[in-house]
Amino acid sequence: MDFDDLLINVVKLFKEHPEIRKSWQDRFDYVLVDEYQDTNLVQHEILKLIVGNRDCITVVGDPQQCIYTWRGANPDNILEFERLS
């Protein structure tokens, strides 16, 4: 598996097995993501699945410092965070 396969399989696992998703949700009271400008939409989806309906996530980053566009990172993720969430 490559990097994308790992991410996609986590989304698939969380969606197909709510008990596993719940066990991961229960591990975290709060989620803080640094360098959020370097995330892609699949990573954003994983975070949404981990957070669930709780309002317990904070992201930080600088869209002008995005260095992983070659692997699908999208600095708009941080600029549009509230709309995407």
Number of domains the chain contains: 1
The CATH number assigned to the domain holding 73 equals 3.40.50.300
Pairing state between β 57-59 and 31-33: parallel
Rounded to two decimals, the pTM is 0.87
Domain that holds residue 74: 3-84
In DSSP terms, 32 is beta-bridged to: 58
The tokens of 37 are what? 């400008």
Angstrom CA distances, 51 to 28, 30, 45, 69, stand at: 8, 8, 10, 25
Q: Residue for token digits 């996530």?
A: 57
Q: State pLDDT tens for residues 8-48.
A: 999 999 999 999 999 999 999 999 999 999 999 999 999 99
